[in-house]
Amino acid sequence: MPYFRTAVLLAVMTALFMGVGWLIGGGQGMAVAFFLALGMNLFALWNSDRMVLSLYRAREVDEQSAPEFVGIVRQLAARAGLPMPRTYIVENPQPNAFATGRSPSKAAVCATTGLLQLLDRREIAGVMAHELSHVQHRDTLIMTVTATLAGAIGMLANFAFFFGRSRDNPLGALGTIVVMIVAPLAATLVQLGISRSREYEADRRGAEICGQPLWLASALGKLGMASGRIPNPQAEAHPATAPLFIVNPLHMKAVDNLFATHPSLENRIARLEAMAQGMGGAPADLDPAPQAATGPWSRPATATRPGGRGSVPDSGPAPSGRRGPWG
């Protein structure tokens, strides 16, 4: 059903795009707008991962710099049958995470320091399994396609103001004005509908990958409460990136309405709890955390910098009251 709904919404957006082009610009105007939008979005498709990671100043980590975090991702990727994605951490107090990349072989997953501090090991596994589900289902590619069509519709609507040919338009000048207002709004609604649909499916598949839906349900509950209190300045400055995150990073109510970037957390948690009740058997647990690690982004005491320039001193144990996958 999620795939069918996504296909229907993409078909609706495509039909809307074609209809708007015919109404306000004729065949020539439609073709020009389409190829301009397609060119811009193809560039974004091939460079979207670097653009987003650079925007949030994410730094890449590995087994030496973040052994626990990378270890969790590696185990989950193996369970999902995916190649190991690149792993990144963003210095941001808001607990959140996202995935990017046009294909599983080019994927990257990213978590904020706030998420790694707030959640325990199993909850982090639930979150990263959700992000790997996006990678497996190529949701970043789907969202790029919808952005292409939405952008093309918006460009056609703008062309209508300057190049609309009212004599060829069966709706006339008034119809052109209506299309200029309604078409971009309709495209945005369809785009958000696809985003919400993919979140539900990523929750379901992520729960299957980690083996326990309640891990992700518990994580979503904590993320929802914390993200509403802690601002994310980069996301506020670039709201178009909001659908990438596991929970809405913007300070607005993420309710299940037409303009929400994400489904309501209450609905998502309820679905995961129902899924947990229907799953039989105990899930295979994650491997024990590496003993030398002090945190998912900290270097162990014996870590060596690339190039062999000496060891990095241990940063010391985490405070006794601190939550995280190391304790």
Which positions are catalytic? 131
Residues 6+ apart with CB under 8 A from 132: 73, 76, 77, 80, 82, 85, 99, 109, 206, 209
Cα–Cα distance between 327 and 318 in angstroms, integer? 8
Checking phi first, is residue 81 left (phi over 0); if not, alpha (psi -120 to 50) or beta?
Answer: left
Q: Is 273 annotated as a binding residue?
A: no
First to last CA, the chain: 40
Cα–Cα distance between 186 and 195 in angstroms, integer? 14
The vertex-109 CA angle with 126 and 56, nearest 5°, equals 120
Residues 6+ apart with CB under 8 A from 86: 60, 107, 108, 109
Q: Which of 110, 109, 118, 123 is nearest to 230 (CA)?
A: 118
Q: Is 130 annotated as a binding residue?
A: yes
Reading the block at residue 252, the tokens are 């607005």
Reading the block at residue 206, the tokens are 């992520």
Strands 86-90, 59-61: pairing is antiparallel
What secondary structure does DSSP assign to 271-306, as a single string?
A: HHHHHHHH--SPPPPPPPPPTT-SSTTSPPTT-B-T
Q: Is 208 annotated as a binding residue?
A: no
Q: Which of 14, 27, 32, 12 is nearest to 158 (CA)?
A: 32
Q: Binding site membership for Zn(2+): which residues? A: 130, 134, 199
Q: Binding site membership: which residues? A: 130, 134, 199
